Amino acid sequence: MTELSKTSFIIQCIDKEISSNKVHELKEELDKDYKYVVGIAISNVNASENSILEQVKIKGMDVLPEKFEAAHIMSSGAVAPNKRFFSWFKPVPVSGDELIIRFYDPDWAISYNLQVQILLTNNLEEIINVLFA
Amino acid sequence: MYSLHKIYEGKLQNQGSESFRFTIKDFKRVQAVFCSGGVNLSLAFDNGKKVLLHGFEFSKNTDCPPNKRPVIFSEAIEMEIISGVISGTMGKDSSVYLILE
């Protein structure tokens, strides 16, 4: 049986109700027990494929380029849950820092719940091998 | 370790086709490229002498894992001009990204 104390990664989920076609800001303190952000994903159940991540910032630094198309980090149900993360960015060292995401859906028509999933780890080498396998 | 850089962003004018040029400092290798879905991309290295992609179509495929969507290669660079052409529906907002090492 896996001991929780030895778990080397965690998926932190951040939810926000998207109630208009304006920019919505998601703010969340990252789990302080994990040292690196290595992946990001968005549930594509509700958001339109033209949605934009205006900013994704940790400690004031951009994790993804500004105005990044959300479609790049959205996956259908056909993709295995552990393969839904986008990891083509420099791993971000964190220590309970605040994550700020500014999200915009130009095709918004009805209120929905947006879920952003953040993959954190303590073991960089191990998880990178898994993500790109 | 990888670093993600947007090298083109804009609306496709000129009958749905735009060209771009870019010089990269501080990185030695380009590992992959990807762009907005539903557009075609041409990409050349070594000041236009080496064509890597010629009208390659990037589809909107969410059935493929995000880490597998970029076109992966490994091209050494040294203060050279990377150029390209992106084409698609006129007026469409499009972006091109390079993954550098």
- pLDDT tens column, A8-66: 899 999 999 999 999 999 999 999 999 999 999 998 778 998 999 999 999 999 999 99
Which residues of B fall within a CB distance of 8 Å from A131? 67
Interatomic CA distance for residues B41 and A50, integer angstroms: 19
Is B4 in contact with A65 (Cβ distance < 8 A)? yes
Pair of tokens at residue A65: 């380029």
Which residue of chain B has the CA closest to A45? B62
Interatomic CA distance for residues A21 and A42, integer angstroms: 17
User: Helix or strand or coil: residue A73?
Assistant: helix
The residues with which B56 forms a beta bridge, in sequence order, are B41
- Complex confidence, ipTM: 0.89
Interatomic CA distance for residues B76 and A73, integer angstroms: 27
Mark residue A60 as left, alpha or beta (left: phi above 0; alpha: psi -120 to 50; beta: remaining).
Answer: left
Intra-chain end-to-end CA distance of chain B, in Å: 6
The DSSP 8-state label assigned to residue A90 in this structure reads: P
Pair of tokens at residue B38: 């539903």
User: Helix or strand or coil: residue A76?
Assistant: coil
Is B60 in contact with A90 (Cβ distance < 8 A)? no
- What domains can be seen in chain A, in order of their start residue? 10-128 (2.60.120)
pTM: 0.90
Of A44, A65, A85, the CB nearest to B62: A44
pLDDT at A1: 46
CB-based contacts of B49: which residues, under 8 Å, 6+ apart? none
Is A131 in contact with B67 (Cβ distance < 8 A)? yes
User: Helix or strand or coil: residue B82?
Assistant: strand
Nearest to B88, CA basis, from B52, B51, B59? B59
Q: How many CB pairs under 8 A join A and B?
A: 69
Which residues of B fall within a CB distance of 8 Å from A127? none
Which residue of chain A has the CA closest to B62? A75
Nearest to B39, CA basis, from B19, B58, B11, B18? B58
pLDDT at B26: 85
Residue to mutate among B5, B67, B89, B94, with most A CBs inside 10 A, is B67
pLDDT at A6: 55
- At A62-120, the pLDDT tens digits run 999 999 999 999 999 999 998 999 999 989 999 999 999 999 999 999 999 999 999 99
Is A79 in contact with B62 (Cβ distance < 8 A)? yes
DSSP assignment of A6-70: G--EEEEEEEEEE-SSS-EEEEEEPPTT--EEEEEEEETTTS-TT-EEEEEEETTEESS-TTEEG
